[in-house]
């Protein structure tokens, strides 16, 4: 709380002075040029203001900083790599927040091969944790397009997903323990890398996926897995989208459950990737839907390629597939993944788009996609839906590109109406309006509209109990 007798105008200079004394020249920055990248989100939708950028170098400094913020009534906006896609790491425009980055807290504290765990500071870049695991002949499975920039603190706070969720789970499933600075400046040490601990509420899960609204994650202990020894990648053309769940079950069974990625690619997206980049689809069959399937095994003597090939051969005989190809080299594998990445990168070159990150139960995906495409076409036959993503988890990036002739601004003005169309169908199919990108600022309104009143009330009670002064990332999530 702000000190008694002090006005708002006094609070910011006083906070700046105390923060600079606490964190030093390297640890507290206020010049506009340095702050600028931290005040804007990755997609360039949100712009905020802040009274400083704090870079604590230890948990003790982070805890002292939080106490200073409480004292001066300054809000905290935790920020990792600032790659989030919901505007959750961008401060509001009051200027009464400090952005807190843990990029100086990027040490690997320990790696325990006997326990198959790694304990890291929250400012570690995700790719650095993967590399540390690989150097110890282990595998850290969290993997996503932003892995060279995002930090594990951000990954945990968004409960990030990515391309290996099918086998290894979300960030939440990979966390064994957390260290968190709470909104009163005390430190919750829940870092022990235990695989079993039933001593009451599992507190770490409150902070995972909380988008920085309940505290500052300063360290995490994480699960490691055996290094992968064999990998097989295939691209298949589906005769019909309704075959996808059946094919997933078939592939999982035939490969001893070693499927790591099961990604949906629409023909439209493959054509976009080929139009804008030098990427060629190796399949001649022109069907509406394709799947990029990858299996990976830690067992050196298990021929995962043969197992996947057999499963796909049987699927072809059963009429579930129209065509398929297995990658026979690293270059061919990379080319298949370039198709998947290329359609993402091609989107901005096609003008404006309205994006959704939704999930429905896996078995519901075909019915949902059919209904959603029909509804959108009925609303406007010029809309160009680009539907792709982690179908194996029931998670689709349901993006809608502007009609060819539309003015981008006029198209963006239709965002709320189009969101409603898509999200109402998601709700009707028992799904979620945010599968992996979180709520942040972007989905706050839709969360209010579609989450149950009981769930919303409980979320507010949790927030009020842990952060009664609403100092942590105000204006986000709820
Ligand atoms: C090219 C690209 C591909 C992507 N692919 C995927 C994908 O496949 N799957 C997926 O899930 N996401 C994906 N994302 C989204 C994004 O990378 C993830 O949400 C990532 O986890 C964010 O991490 P960050 O460090 O950048 O966090 P930020 O964007 O900096 O912050 C995200 C949230 O976490 C909070 N936060 C950050 N650090 C802390 C901390 N130490 N303590 C408390 N709160 C904190 C922030 O306040 C904010 O609410 C992608 C983004 C891009 C740009």
Residue indicated by tokens 């295939």 = 234
> CA dihedral in degrees (342, 346, 352, 357; nearest 10)?
0
Containing H/E element for 290?
strand 289-297
Atom 41 of ligand 1: nearest residue by CA position: 153
Taking the centre of ligand 1 as the mean of its atom positions, its distance from the CA of residue 210, in whole angstroms, is: 12
With the most atoms of ligand 1 within 8 angstroms of its CB, the residue from 62, 157, 181 to mutate is 157
pLDDT value at residue 8: 59
Each residue of 277-295: pLDDT tens digit?
999 999 987 899 999 999 9
Given a contact cutoff of 8 angstroms between Cβ atoms, the answer to whether 151 and 125 are in contact is yes
pLDDT value at residue 1: 44
Taking the centre of ligand 1 as the mean of its atom positions, its distance from the CA of residue 152, in whole angstroms, is: 8
Counting from 1 in the atom list of ligand 1, the atom nearest the Cα of 155 is 21
343: left (phi over 0), alpha (psi -120 to 50) or beta: alpha
Taking the centre of ligand 1 as the mean of its atom positions, its distance from the CA of residue 203, in whole angstroms, is: 21
Taking the centre of ligand 1 as the mean of its atom positions, its distance from the CA of residue 306, in whole angstroms, is: 37
Taking the centre of ligand 1 as the mean of its atom positions, its distance from the CA of residue 315, in whole angstroms, is: 37
pLDDT value at residue 9: 66
All structural domains of the chain, each given as residue ranges with its CATH number in brackets, are 8-102 (3.30.43.10), 108-226 (3.30.465.10), 230-347 (3.30.70.2190), 351-437 (3.30.70.2740)
φ/ψ (deg, to 5) at 301:
-100, 10
216 lines ligand 1 (CB under 6 A): yes
With the most atoms of ligand 1 within 8 angstroms of its CB, the residue from 78, 164, 261, 399 to mutate is 78
d(CA 297, CA 257): 9
pLDDT value at residue 285: 79
Taking the centre of ligand 1 as the mean of its atom positions, its distance from the CA of residue 271, in whole angstroms, is: 29
Strand pairing class (357-359; 175-181): unpaired
With the most atoms of ligand 1 within 8 angstroms of its CB, the residue from 69, 79, 151 to mutate is 79
157 lines ligand 1 (CB under 6 A): yes
Each residue of 46-91: pLDDT tens digit?
999 999 999 999 999 999 999 999 999 999 999 999 999 999 999 9
Taking the centre of ligand 1 as the mean of its atom positions, its distance from the CA of residue 21, in whole angstroms, is: 30
Taking the centre of ligand 1 as the mean of its atom positions, its distance from the CA of residue 159, in whole angstroms, is: 8
pLDDT tens by residue, the chain, 478 residues = 444 445 556 899 999 999 999 999 999 999 999 999 999 999 999 999 999 999 999 999 999 999 999 999 999 999 999 999 999 999 999 999 999 999 999 999 999 999 999 999 999 999 999 999 999 999 999 999 999 999 999 999 999 999 999 999 999 999 999 999 999 999 999 999 999 999 999 999 999 999 999 999 999 999 999 999 999 999 999 989 999 999 999 999 999 999 999 999 999 999 999 999 999 999 987 899 999 999 999 999 999 999 999 999 999 999 999 999 999 999 999 999 999 999 999 999 999 999 999 999 999 999 999 999 999 999 999 999 999 999 999 999 999 999 999 999 999 999 999 999 999 999 999 999 999 999 999 999 999 999 999 999 999 999 999 999 999 999 999 9
pLDDT value at residue 3: 44
Residue indicated by tokens 């507290």 = 28
Atom 37 of ligand 1: nearest residue by CA position: 154
With the most atoms of ligand 1 within 8 angstroms of its CB, the residue from 41, 83, 181 to mutate is 83
d(CA 177, CA 402): 44
Each residue of 336-348: pLDDT tens digit?
999 999 999 999 9
41 lines ligand 1 (CB under 6 A): no
Counting from 1 in the atom list of ligand 1, the atom nearest the Cα of 163 is 8
Count CB neighbours of 344 within 10 A: 17
171 lines ligand 1 (CB under 6 A): no
Strand pairing class (97-101; 52-54): parallel
211 lines ligand 1 (CB under 6 A): yes
Given a contact cutoff of 8 angstroms between Cβ atoms, the answer to whether 149 and 83 are in contact is yes
Of residues 442, 433, 434, 432, the one with CA closest to residue 86: 442
Q: Residue 19 forms beta bridges with which residues?
A: none
d(CA 61, CA 66): 9
């Amino acid at each position: 709380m702000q000190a008694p007798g002090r006005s708002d105008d006094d609070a910011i200079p006083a906070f700046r002075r105390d923060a600079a004394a606490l964190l030093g020249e390297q640890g507290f920055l206020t010049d506009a040029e340095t702050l600028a990248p931290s005040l804007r989100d990755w997609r360039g939708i949100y712009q905020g203001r802040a009274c400083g950028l704090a870079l604590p170098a230890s948990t003790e400094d982070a805890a002292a900083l939080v106490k200073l913020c409480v004292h001066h009534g300054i809000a905290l906006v935790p920020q990792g790599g600032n790659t989030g896609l919901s505007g959750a790491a961008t401060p509001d425009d009051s200027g009464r927040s400090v952005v807190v980055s843990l990029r100086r807290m990027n040490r690997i504290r320990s790696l325990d091969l006997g326990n198959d765990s790694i304990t890291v500071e929250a400012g570690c870049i995700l790719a650095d944790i993967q590399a540390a695991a690989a150097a110890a002949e282990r595998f850290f499975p969290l993997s996503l397009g932003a892995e060279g920039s995002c930090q594990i603190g951000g990954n945990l706070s968004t409960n990030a997903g990515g391309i290996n969720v099918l086998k290894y789970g979300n960030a939440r499933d990979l966390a064994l323990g957390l260290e968190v600075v709470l909104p009163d400046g005390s430190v919750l040490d829940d870092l022990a890398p235990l695989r079993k601990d039933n001593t009451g509420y599992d507190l770490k899960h409150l902070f995972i996926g909380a988008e920085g609204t309940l505290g500052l994650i300063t360290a995490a202990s994480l699960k490691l897995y055996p290094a992968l020894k064999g990998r097989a990648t295939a691209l298949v053309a589906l005769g019909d989208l309704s075959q996808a769940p059946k094919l997933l079950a078939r592939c999982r069974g035939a490969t001893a459950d070693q499927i790591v990625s099961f990604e949906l690619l629409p023909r439209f997206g493959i054509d976009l990737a080929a139009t804008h980049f030098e990427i060629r689809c190796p399949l001649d069959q022109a069907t509406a839907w394709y799947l990029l399937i990858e299996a990976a095994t830690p067992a050196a003597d298990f021929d995962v390629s043969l197992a996947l090939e057999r499963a796909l051969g049987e699927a072809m005989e059963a009429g579930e597939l129209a065509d398929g190809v297995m990658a026979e080299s690293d270059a061919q594998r990379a080319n298949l993944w370039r198709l998947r990445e290329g359609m993402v990168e091609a989107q901005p070159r096609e003008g404006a788009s309205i994006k959704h990150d939704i999930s429905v139960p896996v078995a519901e995906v075909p019915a949902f996609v059919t209904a959603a495409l029909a509804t959108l076409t009925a609303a406007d036959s010029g809309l160009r839906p680009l539907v792709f993503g982690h179908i194996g988890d029931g998670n689709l990036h349901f993006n809608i590109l502007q009609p060819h002739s539309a003015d981008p601004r006029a198209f963006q003005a239709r965002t709320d109406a189009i969101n409603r169309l898509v999200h109402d169908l998601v709700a009707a199919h028992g799904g979620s309006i945010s599968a992996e990108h979180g709520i942040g600022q972007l989905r706050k309104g839709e969360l209010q509209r579609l989450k149950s009143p009981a769930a919303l009330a409980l979320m507010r009670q949790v927030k009020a109990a842990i952060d009664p002064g609403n100092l942590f990332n105000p204006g986000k999530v709820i």
